[in-house]
Structure 1
Amino acid sequence: MAEWWPELAPRIEPSRAPRHHGLCIDAHTHLSVQSAAAVAKPFYRPEFEPRALHSSEETLRYNAEYRASPLNTAQFENAEQRLADMDAQGVDMQILSVPPTEYFYWLPESEALRVNRIQHERFAEVVARWPDRFAAVANVPMEYPALAVETLREARRDFGFGGVEISADVLGRDLDDRRFDPVWEAVVELDMTVILHPQGFTHGQRFTDYYLVNVMCMPLASTLAVTRMILGGVWRRHPDLRVMVVHGGGYLPFYIARTDHAWRVRPELRHHLDVPPSEVLRSIYVDTNVFDPRMVEKLVGDLGADHVLMGTDYPFDMSTVDPVGFLAAVDLGEDERDRVIGQNAARLFDIKVPT
């Protein structure tokens, strides 16, 4: 039976929508760097990766075979395959980030620095060869905040990366922890944008079946992370921090009224926050990988068109395979569509748009 599993993965077909007249940027994609993964592999233990730890045997088997299929391997590792898929989608540029399985926060400090540099050099190589088709963001060793700041500065100075991708937790430690304040300070100082992308959920014991470790746990992890950051005063301490939360921001944008209500009636929520949580939520950015045009309309309506970016999660099978066609079904004004499809990403990630 396993032989047919990889064929279930969606293939990139020509977009059903006309090519967008303006710049089209996919702000949420992943490029695997296997040379870095090879360095990290000897240090790996299953408990380091909750998404794998809480996956069923069926899910682990499917993922291994899907990931090993020739097409998916090429999509994850080969820039030329990506370019062909982007041309079919009508996408001008991708912003490259590591797959969340390649954060490698559990590495020893010296190895973490080595692995991050290998990743950054590979990204820089791809961007240098196709500067009008790719941009990239950094991956930094968040378990070591001082080293993460050093790596951020190097990524901005030496590689020109306009952002950094960060998990929704760091080995189970939440992002409102004050030990991460130096990282947020550096991000703001360097004029970079954070992509917050979870890697599973640390307490996923009840999500093993039905692929819930991804279907529910990925947006759940983001919801928890952003809620804690808001209530923990991260934006109060760092008001200029720019964070794009993938998968439409998780569940929080669609249920923030309950958190606002709790903030009004419960003292526990007001220790670090003197405005309703929804006011802070409006300062975050989200992508469009939500699969329902009505959800994109709500995100634009609540957060503003300046805070929503086209993102697909390419090349995972949980991606939006026809992003331009998907957004064609979203009720947006022409100016709003231009911002969502490309202008916001260019602005937030310091992408030099050709004139």
Structure 2
Amino acid sequence: MATDSESSRREFLGTLSAGVAAGAIAAPSTATAQSAAPLKIVDFHNHFISPSWSLTNLERMPAAARATQEKINANMQSESALLASIETAGIAARVINSPTAFLENADGNPPPDATRRINDQIAETCAKHKGKLYGLATVDPFSGDDAARELTRAVKELGLRGVFVESAKKDLLLGDKETRPTLKAAADLGVPVFVHPQTDPQLHKRFSRTGRIGLRYARGTINGAALINMLEGGAFDEAPKLHMVVTTLAYGALMLAAGFGDGANIRSDAPALVRRHVYIDTMGLHPALVRASVDLLGADHVLMGTDWPIVEEKSVPDRLAKALAHAGLAPAEQQLVAGGNTLRLLGIA
């Protein structure tokens, strides 16, 4: 029989599914206590690209989707919109990255000098707004030693706090031998690797009839495949100090890796490896995902993230506090997920 608290939580989860996009979450009658101190919220998952670049992603989109994407692109290239979004959301800071996928030509290649210029620009933007913006370097990990050298420069000379990479490139996955120099450099530098979901042309074609949710799931499939490749290929063995962040779109792979480990279908130490090396970005405020992530990885490996400006969350403190409480997190755990883990991972706290 469900307790009053369990019934309240289930009712809240149902309400949240319908109302979270509009921020219309009613306060439940009972729940785990919310943190007594205000949450210090640091959003781990945000994109910003200098307005000096001409974005190319609209050229590859269907006409029906372009109006929405044009607004997203405008915000992504607006420093004032980025800063205003921190105030509108009611959070303390954002961690920003610059995906080169928005700059690729028809062959899927960004300009040859893209990563170096991007890293200089991200560092300059963060330096102007210390305490509100923290930057991740961008590199192409599939370019071998060149990427490792650029990551080292971005961290040691520019002060960037981690590295943003794509999950795959053509037939290669993160964790393949071409990517090992970047992974080793990140581990040696003590900075996290944020592994971003990615569109795979074949999966995109097959999943397109399922709509937006199906296409997001397709992107998450590649994100999850990168995680499995890292585990099975021995990347964590070669870089024992490596910290990797995936999104909740990779949840299927995370469930398999963290919940099993039978030695036949996946290495027997997979659960221990993911709990040691892997963090997860919530990509939203849903308590069910938070709860499941905490159960798999621990409260100290879950990072609050939203995917701004793809998603614009407003009134975050109240909504996040309620979501974390209904996920059953103790006040100290709520502070970790809200921002404490991100600050620690980036070497700030």
Give the TM-score taking structure 1 as reference length: 0.78
Compute the displacement of 1:252 (Å): 2.1
Residue of structure 1 equivalent to 2:8: none
Residue of structure 2 equivalent to 1:62: 64
Residue of structure 2 equivalent to 1:55: none
Distance 1:148 1:67 in 2: 29
Distance 1:151 1:12 in 2: 41
Within the candidate set 24, 38, 43, 1:21 is matched to 38
Residue of structure 2 equivalent to 1:171: 170
Residue of structure 2 equivalent to 1:217: 218
Q: Which amino acid aligns with 1:228?
A: N
Q: Structure 1, residues 282-305: CA drift from partner, whole Å, max 9, x if none?
A: 120001115531121111122111
Aligned identity (percent) is 22
Q: Is the 8 Å Cα contact of residues 259 and 271 (structure 2) preserved in structure 1?
A: no
Residue of structure 1 equivalent to 2:101: 101
Q: Is the 8 Å Cα contact of residues 143 and 170 (structure 1) preserved in structure 2?
A: yes
- Uncovered stretches (5+) of structure 1, i.e. residues with no partner: 1-9, 47-51, 53-58
Compute the displacement of 1:151 (Å): 0.7
Distance 1:218 1:152 in 2: 25
Give secondary structure in 1 for the equivalent of 2:164.
strand
Distance 1:188 1:211 in 2: 35
Q: Is the 8 Å Cα contact of residues 15 and 88 (structure 1) preserved in structure 2?
A: no
Compute the displacement of 1:23 (Å): 2.7
Q: Structure 1, residues 7-43: CA drift from partner, whole Å, max 9, x if none?
A: xxx99989999997243210000012343446xx6xx
- Uncovered stretches (5+) of structure 2, i.e. residues with no partner: 1-19, 28-33
Compute the displacement of 1:90 (Å): 1.6
Q: Structure 1, residues 290-324: CA drift from partner, whole Å, max 9, x if none?
A: 5531121111122111100110101104x655543
Give secondary structure in 2 for the equivalent of 1:235.
helix
Within the candidate set 291, 299, 302, 1:297 is matched to 291
Q: Is the 8 Å Cα contact of residues 14 and 88 (structure 1) preserved in structure 2?
A: no
Residue of structure 2 equivalent to 1:7: none
Residue of structure 2 equivalent to 1:135: 134
Compute the displacement of 1:333 (Å): 0.8
Instruction: Work out whether 1:282 is the aligned partner of 2:279.
Output: no
Pairing of 1:176-325 with structure 2 (within 5 A): 176-204=175-203, 205-209=205-209, 210-212=211-213, 214-247=215-248, 249-256=250-257, 260=261, 263-266=262-265, 269=266, 273=267, 275-283=268-276, 284-289=278-283, 292-317=286-311, 320-321=313-314, 323-324=316-317, 325=319
Give secondary structure in 1 for the equivalent of 2:222.
helix
Q: Is the 8 Å Cα contact of residues 143 and 179 (structure 2) preserved in structure 1?
A: no
Within the candidate set 319, 322, 325, 1:328 is matched to 322
Q: Which amino acid aligns with 1:148?
A: A
Distance 2:135 2:22 in 1: 22
Give secondary structure in 2 for the equivalent of 1:165.
strand
Q: Is the 8 Å Cα contact of residues 103 and 139 (structure 1) preserved in structure 2?
A: no
Give the TM-score taking structure 2 as reference length: 0.79
Q: Structure 1, residues 79-134: CA drift from partner, whole Å, max 9, x if none?
A: 222222211212111000113623759548xx43x211221222122211111210
Q: Which amino acid aligns with 1:175?
A: L
Moved more, 172-181 or 95-104: 95-104
Cα RMSD for the two superposed structures: 3.1
Q: Which amino acid aligns with 2:335?
A: D
Distance 2:158 2:26 in 1: 36
Q: Is the 8 Å Cα contact of residues 141 and 178 (structure 2) preserved in structure 1?
A: no
Q: Which amino acid aligns with 1:276?
A: D
Q: Structure 1, residues 164-209: CA drift from partner, whole Å, max 9, x if none?
A: 1111112331122112111111111111110010221243131122
Q: Structure 1, residues 23-76: CA drift from partner, whole Å, max 9, x if none?
A: 3210000012343446xx6xx9x9xxxxx5xxxxxx62233211223xx34421
Give secondary structure in 2 for the equivalent of 1:151.
helix
Q: Which amino acid aligns with 1:138?
A: A
Instruction: Work out whether 1:348 is the aligned partner of 2:341.
Output: no
Pairing of 1:116-135 with structure 2 (within 5 A): 116-135=115-134
Moved more, 133-142 or 82-91: 82-91
Q: Is the 8 Å Cα contact of residues 49 and 98 (structure 2) preserved in structure 1?
A: yes
Give secondary structure in 2 for the equivalent of 1:159.
coil
Q: Is the 8 Å Cα contact of residues 293 and 327 (structure 1) preserved in structure 2?
A: no
Compute the displacement of 1:259 (Å): 5.4
Compute the displacement of 1:212 (Å): 5.0
Q: Which amino acid aligns with 1:346?
A: L
Compute the displacement of 1:230 (Å): 0.7
Residue of structure 1 equivalent to 2:3: none
Distance 1:164 1:103 in 2: 18
Moved more, 12-21 or 324-333: 12-21
Q: Which amino acid aligns with 2:155?
A: R
Distance 1:214 1:323 in 2: 26
